[in-house]
Copies of this chain bind each other. A is one copy, B any other.
Amino acid sequence: MSNLILHEYARSGNCYKIRLTAACLGLPVERREYDIMAGATRTPSFLDTVNANGRIPVLQVGDRFLPESGAACLYLADGSALLPADRFDRADMMRWMFWEQYNHEPNVATLRFWRLFIGDDRLNDLQRAQLPAKQVAGEAALALMDEHLSTRDYFVGDRPTLADIALYAYTHVANEGGFDLSLYPSVQKWLGQVAAMPGHVTLDA
């Protein structure tokens, strides 16, 4: 595999997903930090070279750039045991990864970003107006995960896949966004299982 460079903001759960995937696969990744709060991913040179969408993470593979955390995880894990061998299960893993980005991240991760990184008293009016709806939607996402995990150990099949890594990233720090994880016992048990995966690294590693 070509030399891997992760363009990231280390505290972002989306960036952590890629580091966790790489760690579970034993792949070394060089890290480049950007201060997103200071606009470091909106500079002309970042937009021209790294990601025209002005966001991290971006996985650099040789001289090519791959934005979107899920895509980067899939690139790293292609052909590995982190992807199910069965066709339906593989698609079902993708289902959870898309669901995470659509139903979970914009609520659970966004509230963490707003509350922990920006701060409740510095939110703008539009952000403040969205707080209640995002709280409800985030709780619904966590409840759906808890129900799904009440009868199984992992999201797809009987072993960890990228779906577990993708969902672990922001779920395990959901309390930082104002969510009470003690309400979701099956999620808590599953968090412990993902944390015990061989090669696991923590978000702050």
Contacts and interface: CB of A to CB of B under 8 A. Distances in A.
Contacts of A90: 74-75, 78
B53 A71 contact: no
Contact of A99 (B53, B74, B97, B99): B53
A48 B103 CA distance: 18
Interface string A108-147: 0000000000000000011001100100000000001001
Contacts of A74: 90-91, 94
A181 interface: no
Contacts of A75: 87-88, 90-91
A54 to B, nearest CB: 9
B91 A147 contact: no
A147 B147 CA distance: 43
Given A52-B148, A53-B103, A91-B74, A68 B126 contact: no
Nearest to A55: B103
A98 B126 contact: no
A94 B103 CA distance: 18
Given A71-B95, A102-B106, 19 more contacts: A52-B147, A61-B88, A64-B88, A66-B88, A66-B92, A68-B95, A68-B102, A70-B94, A70-B98, A72-B91, A74-B91, A74-B94, A78-B87, A98-B98, A101-B101, A101-B102, A102-B102, A126-B133, A129-B129
